[in-house]
Structure 1
Amino acid sequence: SEEKKKEEVAQNHIEINRDNCKACQRCVSVCPNNSFVIKEGKSSLKEGYICRDCKVCVAACPNECINFVNFN
């Protein structure tokens, strides 16, 4: 259901290690929800981003900058 999807989205949070980010834009290009943007030379999340927990951004990042935190 749509409500369950929203609940699942709310339980996860993406953390970006901006110190390691080289602005390669791989996260920007692979995210199916278009949640990433390069801001001030580093990867950032768009305001109000949506995450479906697919983790393609984690796999795509060559510098291991993206981590998921589960709020459960």
Structure 2
Amino acid sequence: MGDRWHIEVDRGVCIGSGMCVSSAPGGFTLDSARQSHPAAPDTDAAEALLAAAEGCPVEAISITLADSGEAVFPPEE
């Protein structure tokens, strides 16, 4: 992919399902309250990170291009 992404998790929405950790091992961690955090907020684009965002049951994960802020997921309508 070649792009750099900025990953954010809305912890007000996150329900701690852990699906992101399963989809992208090393990409996300759960804290003691089972809230998700990106392992590296700014990272190289990776299919596993996109799959984790797409698979989040409450759409708490957003991905933007690090250099422009353009939405990767969820896509702008």
The reply to whether TM is greater than 0.5 is yes
5+ long unaligned stretches in structure 2: 69-77
Q: Tell me the equivalent position of 1:57.
A: 52
Higher helix share: 1
Runs (5+) with no aligned partner, structure 1: none
- Looking at secondary structure, tell me which structure has more strand per residue: 2
SS of structure 2 residue aligned to 1:69 = strand
Of all paired residues, the percent bearing the same amino acid is 22
Greater gyration radius = 1
* TM-score of the superposed pair, with normalisation by structure 1: 0.71
Q: State how many pairs are aligned.
A: 64
1:6-46: CA deviation from partner (whole Å, max 9, x where unpaired): xx23xx10011011111100000001x52111013200122
Tell me how far apart the structure 1 counterparts of residues 40 and 31 of structure 2 sit (CA, whole Å).
12
2:64 to 41, 61, 69: 69
Matched, 1:24 2:25: no
CA RMSD of aligned residues (A): 2.3
- Flag the structure with more relative contact order, 1 or 2, with Cα contacts below 8 A and sequence separation at least 6: 1
